Amino acid sequence: MATPTVPGSRPPPRRERPAGILSRAPGFVAMSLVESEGNARTAVVLWESQAQADAFRGEAESWGHAMDELGHRVETRDAGEVMEHITLRA
C-alpha cells in the first residue's frame, strides 16, 4: 500500500540498502550471510585491514540497532585476522 502524501510535500527519503553502503566502504572485500537451521544468521565480512573494519564499526552498530528494533537480535560480535582465504581460479 502506498503512503499518502500531502500536496506540495516531499516523499520520505529512501534508505539505501546496507549492501550498497557496505560495498562502497573503504577496504571492503566481501560479505557472506549464512543461514543455519532454526533461522539463525551469521554474517562474515572481510576487510583489507583491521583499521578499515574499525572505521566502519559505527555504521555497523547502527544497523545492529535497526535489526534489534525489527526483532533480529545481534547475539555476538567478534573480530580477528583471516588465517586462510581460498577462492576459485578463473
Report the pLDDT value the prediction gives residue 16, as an integer from 0 to 100.
60
- Please report, for the chain, the start and end positions of each structural domain, with discontinuous segments joined by +: 19-69
Query: What is the amino acid identity at position 6?
Result: V
Model confidence pLDDT, tens digit, residues 29-85 = 998 888 888 878 888 889 999 999 999 888 888 777 777 777 777 777 788 888 888
pLDDT at 11 > cutoff 90? no
Beta-carbon contacts of residue 70 (< 8 Å; ≥ 6 apart) = none
Query: What is the amino acid identity at position 22?
Result: L
15 — pLDDT class (breaks 50, 70, 90): low
